[in-house]
Amino acid sequence: MSEPSLLVLWPFLAAVMAAVNVRGATVWGGIGTLGTAVFAVSLAVSVHATGPELIFIGGWVTPLGIALRADGLAAVMVCMTAAVGVAVSVQAAATWGLATTADEPAERARQRRGFWPLWLCTLSALNALYLSGDLFNLYVTFEILGLAAVGLTALRGTDEALRAAFDYLVAGLAGSLLLLLGIALAYAAIGRVDLGSVALLNDTGAGRVAIGMVLAGIALKAALFPLHFWMPAAHSNAVPVSSAILSALVVKGALYLVLRLILDGGFDTGPLRWGFAALGAAGMFWGSLSALRATQLKLLVAHSTVAQIGLITLAISVSGDPLTSLAWQAAALLMVSHALAKSAMFLAVGRIKEKAGHDTIAELNQATLNPGAAGFAFAIAAISLIGLPPTAGFLGKWTLITGLIGQGQGAWIFVAVVLMGSALSIAYLWRVISCFMKAPPDGATAAPRVPWQAGDMAAVALALAALLLGVFAAAPLALLNGPLL
Amino acid sequence: MPDLIYHGVGAGLVGMALYRAATCADLLTRILALNVLAVGIAAVLVAAAYRGSDVPPDAVPHAFVLTGIVVLVAVTAALLALAERLERDGDAGRDNADE
Amino acid sequence: MMTVFDVMLAATILWTAWTALTAPDRTAAIAAFLVFGLFVGLSWVRLGAPDVAMAEAAIGSGLTGALLLRASRGMTPPAPTRVTAPHRAAAVITAAGVAGVLAWAVLVLPEAAVVYDPLVDANIGDSGVSNPVTAVLLNFRAWDTLLELVVLLAALLLVAALRPIRAARMADLGPLYPPFLRIMAPLSIFLSAHLLWLGTSDPGGAFQAGAVLCGGLLALFFGGTLKTDGPDVMPLWALAVMGVVVFVGAGLLAEALTGTLLEYPDGADKAWILTIESALTLSIGATLLLLFSGLRQGGARP
Amino acid sequence: MTLLELFGYACLCGGAAFLLLAALGLWRFSDLYARLHALTKADTAGVALVALGAGCLDGRLVAIIPLGLTAILVAVSGATTGHLIASAALGEDEGEDENEEAAQP
């Protein structure tokens, strides 16, 4: 059994078992997530050792059949998903408990029964997306991802969550249909839809329109700046564990496809790339400004996702030809560091809201944040988002800026934009961290320091992983330096 | 010749659906607009697969459209389940008691 | 002569679509959508795609129409949306822009780029079936079909995870329904099996057969003989899950035997495809029924 | 033009006439029950005549059996649906409160 097929089918079978055997849902969730993590690591090792794998499903060669491509970039993304997945599963098991207890409210039982199958479906859809080498196959994986993510959003059950989930599904379906329209035009123009032939699209008029439609659809699904209207509501109204999955992992699928299209020579025409870079920069500013204005903590973190997506899109669109410049690796590193940091942040915010009972930033102070584990995890994740030296975020921004400098005079504007983006992210994150250190208003004596609980371990672990990834960056960089398929 | 006509039908359906999706707030009409948009795209695909009246058309886009139809009915069922819970008039929208 | 027919059909499709989108009354809009789906199916028969026409008529307009009608019954009447002039103008511009670009892209097309046709004709011999669409769905691009069934299951998981709402009590259907049921239910099961077997050589296959089977199951559901609440949902739930599990199991077993995922052992292609297709037919019928009945109790009770 | 073909074309025209009349009835009649009356004629007589005509023209058994099956099916489901719609509409018109409240949650 090769890893790529197991990476997709193992979590899906675990999801089916979790759906049928409701009493043991958490156990099946653990089996599915841990199994996928093992397969992800073994895939990364085999790709690093023996180079990228190309599997023709059913034995049919590419134009007719579908190819699964397991190269360095895919291995890094699959390992990222597995790492965040394990931590999120630990947090989910902590919040909803291991098994059905007699006296628990119906709402909690419904959320646990619904979470595990949907999470494992998301995991299998993400792995299928990272490994797929065919555009129509990517459309189908996007649909699975969209449905499972909407299920996670609607898990909370309140009317706002259902309204956010409905808007999320409508935007996701519209994005997928634009992608399908692009695929239809690509088929009409060049007669084939596999990713390897995407470069042929630049020659014909219909091909360029097809690329435009595909990019519009992906931009809608990735919540890129003008089309991000549905995202803050969905990510802030969901259950904390779901928000971590949505913000850190689900959005990466669409961003990964944009990067893959560029690497396959999808759109080398200048104006489209600079247009995308401008959208990314605008998204960064808009996200940061909205985060500065946000009063609720979850909404602030959701808007910071919009800003980070803008930064990643900027890194993707200026990444140039994979043979000449290494700037595309910056985009991959930024995606990985954002995934680790953002999931840590959302889990920490969930814990803060659980302990303090509310998440309005102004009313947070030292007394409400006792013990400080969640605040600690939030601060470390903030450092990685800002991009200070030891963290993976710094590594991504550093590679991006060195790549940009090498590209001639036009790129200086974007270097300035990246630095301004970092400054803005310092501004809106410091707003929160300063509240953590604020003394309680009525001068009440600080409550005794309560030891850290099990629920905080997932957030702290993810934050430290984001911190240490900068130090131990040899592994992802080695994978990224490998040949691309 | 017929595929040009049905290409035009596909383009018309896509335009109509996008217009209605943008200008109506009613949940059910938005779901109908997305369904019409998907059928319009499927019409473009089937028209692109046409190879003339005597040569059999290409089977791969037909498989795409078949897959697209089944995916569409799944997403529509999910959308309707959400819309039903949002738009339920008054009576038992929120009673978890009878779980 | 046929061009006149095509132009009339095209005009009817566009007109019914416009009615479906702008009808003030919900039931009228859904009825127009149903008719629109049937006419589009007719246009696809004209373009030489009978498989897809059958699927569009059965699933695209029939089942979707039934889902829409059931959902619209419990909804509040639609409030007329007041749209300001600039908003409407912007919508018209973007919609006309996308449609115009699409029409231009299609008209400026070079003659059709033929890539898949020779490949399908060359490989259909050892794909085990002679109907090219079934060969593509179940053999050449079996990975797409497998993930598509995962989509169906993901939709079911989503509906199961939502908070429960009160089941709308089915009205009594009067004395004429039971004899109608005695004709329709066995006939739909027989027709579904026939469509499944036909799918290997002529238009038909697992999806059309699954839709027809779902029609029969719905007739039983309305007649009250088939219930989907409480413990009765378990057999349907297992049937819905069974299809994809059989497909995944067959894919992994094929990989164990031949070393590549979903590569059926040589010579036994038809047998493998038929077993997978029959499991899919039962699973699609059960899944679509559960999606229709909405798992009123909010998920499977073990 | 053999006699069978002539008869086939005649049946086709008759069927088409029935369908046209039913559509006209649907459009012109004001009352629901009158419209139902017109529609069920289309289902039973119109489709049966068209199927008979097509069967005569085609002549092969492999075409006649599906056509016959279709005609019977459409007739049965058309009649039952007509009955269901009529009884539902009748229930609403007479405003039987307990049936009304029971049927509509």
pLDDT digits (tens, 9 = 90+) for C109-166: 767 778 888 888 888 888 888 999 999 999 999 999 999 999 999 999 999 888 777 6
Domain boundaries, chain D: 3-99
How far is A204 from A174, CA to CA, in rounded Å? Answer: 25
Residue with tokens 């416009």: C18
Beta carbons of B8 and C8 less than 8 angstroms apart = no
Tokens of C282: 């039962």
- What's residue A480's pLDDT? 80
Distance of CA B34 to the CA centre of its chain: 5
Residue contact B51–C36, C-beta within 8 A: no
Q: How far apart, in Å, are the Cα atoms of A123 and each of A8, A29, A114, C162?
A: 8, 11, 15, 20
Q: What SS3 state is found at A70?
A: strand
- Mean of the per-residue pLDDT values of chain A: 86
**Intra-chain end-to-end CA distance of chain A, in Å:** 21
Residue contact A20–C299, C-beta within 8 A: no
Least trusted range by pLDDT, from C18-27, C55-64, C279-288, D89-98? D89-98
ipTM of predicted assembly, 2 dp: 0.91
Q: In one letter, which amino acid is A398?
A: W
Residue contact C162–B82, C-beta within 8 A: yes
Residue contact B5–C76, C-beta within 8 A: no
Q: How far apart, in Å, are the Cα atoms of A125 and each of A38, B72, C147?
A: 17, 17, 9
**What is residue C297's DSSP assignment?**
T
pLDDT mean over A278-296: 90
Q: How far apart, in Å, are the Cα atoms of A400 and each of A252, A317, A418, A429?
A: 18, 11, 9, 22
pLDDT digit string, tens, across residues D24-81: 888 888 888 888 888 888 888 899 999 999 998 888 888 888 899 889 888 888 888 8
Most confident of A20-29, B63-72, B83-92, C85-94: B63-72
- What's residue C296's pLDDT? 52
Q: What SS3 state is found at C13?
A: helix
Beta carbons of C56 and C40 less than 8 angstroms apart = yes
pLDDT mean over A144-150: 95
What whole-number percentage of chain A has pLDDT above 70?
94
Residue C297, pLDDT above cutoff 70: no
Least trusted range by pLDDT, from A143-147, B15-19, C19-23, D88-92? D88-92
Residue C15, pLDDT above cutoff 70: yes
Q: What SS3 state is found at C167?
A: coil
Facing residue for D80 by CB, picked from C74, C168, C177 = C177
Give the bridge partners for B87, in sequence order: none
pLDDT band at D16 (very low <50, low <70, confident <90, very high): very high
Residues 164-203 (A) with a CB less than 8 A from some CB of C: 181, 185, 188-192
- What's residue A320's pLDDT? 64
Q: What SS3 state is found at A296?
A: strand
pLDDT digit string, tens, across residues A153-193: 998 888 899 999 999 999 999 999 999 999 999 998 888 88
Pick the closest to residue C144 from A183, A75, B38 (CA basis).
A183
How would you class A353 by CB atoms within 10 Å of its CB: exposed for 0-12, middle for 13-18, buried for 19 or more?
middle
Residue contact A110–B99, C-beta within 8 A: yes
- What's residue A446's pLDDT? 59
- What's residue C299's pLDDT? 42
Q: Does D62 touch chain C (CB under 8 A)?
A: no
Residue C37, pLDDT above cutoff 70: yes
Residue B55 belongs to what domain range? 2-98
Beta carbons of A246 and A164 less than 8 angstroms apart = no
Residues 107-146 (A) with a CB less than 8 A from some CB of B: 107, 110, 136, 140, 143, 146
Facing residue for B63 by CB, picked from C56, C87, C133 = C133
- What's residue C43's pLDDT? 94
What whole-number percentage of chain C has pLDDT above 90?
48
Q: What SS3 state is found at A360?
A: strand
Q: What SS3 state is found at B88?
A: strand
Specify the CATH number for the domain of residue B57: 1.10.287.3510
- What's residue C168's pLDDT? 64
What whole-number percentage of chain A has pLDDT above 90?
38
Chain C residues within 8 A of B42 when measuring between CB atoms: 40, 52, 56
pLDDT band at C300 (very low <50, low <70, confident <90, very high): very low
Query: Does the bond joining C235 to the residue before it have cis omega, within 30 degrees of 0?
Result: no
Name which residue leads in pLDDT, A24 or B36: B36
DSSP code per residue over A49-69:
HH--EEEEGGG--TTTS-EEE
Q: Does D103 touch chain C (CB under 8 A)?
A: yes
Other CB atoms within 10 Å distance of the CB of residue A385: 28
Pick the closest to residue A51 from A75, A35, A79 (CA basis).
A75
Residue B91, pLDDT above cutoff 60: no
How far is B80 from A170, CA to CA, in rounded Å? Answer: 11
pLDDT mean over A13-32: 90
How far is A65 from B73, CA to CA, in rounded Å? Answer: 25
Residue C261, pLDDT above cutoff 80: yes
**What is residue B51's DSSP assignment?**
-
pLDDT digit string, tens, across residues A204-253: 888 888 998 999 999 999 988 888 888 888 888 888 899 999 999 999 99
| Number of folded domains that form chain B | 1
**What is residue A104's DSSP assignment?**
S
- What's residue C247's pLDDT? 94
Interface test with A, best of C121, C157, C165 (most A CBs within 10 A): C157
- What's residue A399's pLDDT? 84
Phi, psi of A360 (to 5 degrees): -75, 130
pLDDT mean over D80-97: 77
Residue B95, pLDDT above cutoff 70: no
pLDDT digit string, tens, across residues A304-317: 999 999 999 988 88
Pick the closest to residue A285 from A225, A339, A218, A345 (CA basis).
A225
DSSP code per residue over C45-113:
HHTT-HHHHHHIIIIIIIIHHHHHHHHHHTBPPPPPPP--HHHHHHHHHHHHHHHHHHHHHHHT--S--
Domain boundaries, chain C: 1-75, 82-113, 128-302
pLDDT digit string, tens, across residues C178-225: 888 888 889 899 999 999 998 888 888 899 999 999 999 998 988 888
Chain A residues within 8 A of C241 when measuring between CB atoms: 16, 19-20
Calculate Rg over the CA atoms of chain B. Answer: 18
What is the number of alpha carbons within 13 Å of residue C11 lying toward its C-beta? 5
pLDDT band at D95 (very low <50, low <70, confident <90, very high): low
pLDDT band at A363 (very low <50, low <70, confident <90, very high): confident
Residue with tokens 């595909």: A214
Facing residue for C260 by CB, picked from A19, A56, A162 = A56
Tokens of A139: 């459309």
pLDDT mean over C280-300: 79
pLDDT digit string, tens, across residues A372-381: 788 888 888 9
Least trusted range by pLDDT, from A163-177, C166-180, C241-255? C166-180
How far is C194 from A368, CA to CA, in rounded Å? Answer: 68
Chain B residues within 8 A of A220 when measuring between CB atoms: none
- What's residue A335's pLDDT? 92
